[in-house]
Amino acid sequence: MTTQQQSLATFSPEFRIAVELIGKRWTGVILRSMLGGATHFSDFTSAIPGLSDRLVSLRLKELETEGVIERIVIPDKPVKIEYVLTEKGRTLLPVFDAIQSWADRWV
Amino acid sequence: MTTQQQSLATFSPEFRIAVELIGKRWTGVILRSMLGGATHFSDFTSAIPGLSDRLVSLRLKELETEGVIERIVIPDKPVKIEYVLTEKGRTLLPVFDAIQSWADRWV
Local confidence pLDDT in tens for the 107 residues of chain A: 566 666 787 899 999 999 999 999 999 999 999 999 999 999 998 888 889 999 999 999 999 999 999 999 999 999 999 999 999 999 999 999 999 999 999 99
Average pLDDT of chain B, as a whole number: 93
Q: Do A98 and B103 lie within an 8 Å CB cutoff?
A: no
Alpha helices in chain B (DSSP H): 3-9, 13-22, 27-35, 41-47, 53-65, 87-90, 93-106
Option in A16, A22, A47 nearest B9 (CB): A47
Distance separating alpha carbons of residues B102 and A67, to the nearest angstrom: 14
For the entire predicted model, the pTM comes to 0.93
Reference A97, options B83, B78, B19; nearest CA is B19
Is B32 close to A15, i.e. CB distance below 8 A? yes
